[in-house]
Amino acid sequence: MTITAHEQPAKGYLWGDREAEFMHCPICGCITHYETTERCDSQFVAVNMSMADIEVIEELQIKLLDKADRKR
């Protein structure tokens, strides 16, 4: 995944337990993604897809976490 800033680079901030750095657009304030910090037990990146084109989202491979795919 590549996140490109066209006008200004994304800015990050930490809050709460400081286990994730939230990156946001300095122009509109929208959160683009977040990355876990070294304080977190597991390392991953989460991307805000709410503004992505539906065609992009439909092509993504979905990985369910925490046994979310189990039938109840």
Output the tens digit of pLDDT for each of the chain's 72 residues: 666 767 888 899 998 999 999 999 888 888 988 999 999 988 888 888 887 888 988 888 877 766 655 554
Element (H, E) at 24: strand 20-24
pTM confidence score: 0.64
Task: Taking the CA atoms of 40, 41, 44 and 47 in sequence, report the sign of the dihedral they define.
Answer: negative
Every domain of the chain and the residues it spans: 11-58
